[in-house]
Amino acid sequence: MSKKQTCWDLVSYAIGKSDRVLLYGPPGTGKTYSAVKHNAPLNINGDANVFQLVMTEESTSADLQGFYQIGENQQFEWSDGIAVQAWRNGGRLVINEIDHASPDAMTFLHAVLDDKDIAGITLNNKEKETVRPSEGFTVIATSNADPESLPQALKDRFPVAIHIDEIHPKALEKFPSEWHQAISDTSMTTDESERISIRKWDEFFKLQEQGLDLDIAGLIVFGDRAEELLDAIKLSEAE
């Protein structure tokens, strides 16, 4: 390989070609953005055929499989969960914060992420319908934690796991180019005390656009860290 491949190069190669991709790395880097937007599949109406959910400790397998709810005619109606919807539609299932999933949801994910030729779930509805993933079904999961923190069985179901160690180039585009490295470094650091989120950077520039001068915008957004930043800015502008 003559050119060093960035993580985003790898993401662009993997998404759309691999069925199960895990993107992991610090927050605010554009993992979810890529999972949702990159080569997004379209349905027959031309809309994005993407189904996404955020896992929390409160998430249950029902969120993925489906559940009964009272319908308009005051009768219980079955409603497919997000995973089943994605199966049926052959869409892209985006599971955010997969590492936060409850044991119940995680176990169900094993079934969702099974190899396509054996994957199948009999729904717990009245019809006891058995569903299988349709053609085109893919899963992209995102996590802030290292894959090692996932249960072995779940981890094994993501043959492609890409460490996101850079901010997505599109997220950086809105900032002046001389700031890219600083924004990237400060937002990617794993040291929480040093980290400056990309949202903070965004706000810093927005405040300046709204007429605040550099020093004030710096103080408002960065607090104690403003001096270091302002020194660097002044020096970058010095002859």
Partner 1 sequence: MRHRPFPEIVTGERDWEVYEDTKQPRTDMTNKKMYVPLDGDCHKCGINHGRVIRRHELGHVKWSPKSFGKIAKGVHEEAIHLLEEVRVNHRLTYAGIPMDAPHTCLDEVNAYTRQLVEKGSITDLVKYGLASVFFIKKINYRGLWSTHYRRMKFEEYGYEYSSFIQAITDEIDSHTLKHSRVQDLEFAMEKISYFHMKMIHVSTKSHSITHKPAWARVKKLAIELSELFDLFNEKPQDDVRLSDDDKEKLEEALENEDDLNEAYEEAELSSPKDVAMLKSRNKQESNEIMFSYDDSKASWADYTMHKPALTINMNNKIRTGYTNVAKDRGVAPRKIHRYTVDRKIFTRKQNTYGGTILIDASGSMNFDGQDILDVMNEVPAVTIAMYNYYGWGNTSKKGDIRIIARNGRRVNDDYLDEHSGGGNYIDLPALEWLGKQAPRRIWVSDMQVVGFNGSGKENLQQCLDACNKYNIMRLADIGEVKSFARHLNVVR
Q: Which residues bind partner 1 (CB under 8 A)?
A: 177-182, 184-186, 191, 193-194, 224-225, 227-229, 231-236, 238-239
Asked if 83 and 90 touch (Cβ cutoff 8 Å), the reply is no
Task: State the nearest-atom distance from the C-beta of 235 to partner 1, in Å.
Answer: 5
Nearer to partner 1 among residue 132 and residue 174 (C-beta): 174
Task: State the nearest-atom distance from the C-beta of 234 to partner 1, in Å.
Answer: 5
Q: Name the CA radius of gyration of the chain, rounded.
A: 22
Nearer to partner 1 among residue 62 and residue 233 (C-beta): 233
How far are the Cα atoms of 148, 193, 202, 207, 231 from residue 225, in angstroms, in the given order? 33, 11, 16, 17, 10
133 secondary structure, DSSP code? P
d(CA 149, CA 41): 30
For residue 202, report the phi and psi dihedrals to the nearest 5 degrees.
-60, -45
Nearer to partner 1 among residue 108 and residue 204 (C-beta): 204
| Residue carrying structure tokens 């979810």 | 32
Task: State the nearest-atom distance from the C-beta of 201 to partner 1, in Å.
Answer: 12
Nearer to partner 1 among residue 8 and residue 137 (C-beta): 8
Task: State the nearest-atom distance from the C-beta of 32 to partner 1, in Å.
Answer: 25
Task: State the nearest-atom distance from the C-beta of 184 to partner 1, in Å.
Answer: 8
Asked if 140 and 98 touch (Cβ cutoff 8 Å), the reply is no
d(CA 49, CA 211): 41
Nearer to partner 1 among residue 121 and residue 172 (C-beta): 172
Nearer to partner 1 among residue 148 and residue 224 (C-beta): 224
For residue 184, the Cα-to-chain-centroid distance in whole angstroms is: 18
d(CA 30, CA 27): 8
Task: State the nearest-atom distance from the C-beta of 162 to partner 1, in Å.
Answer: 21
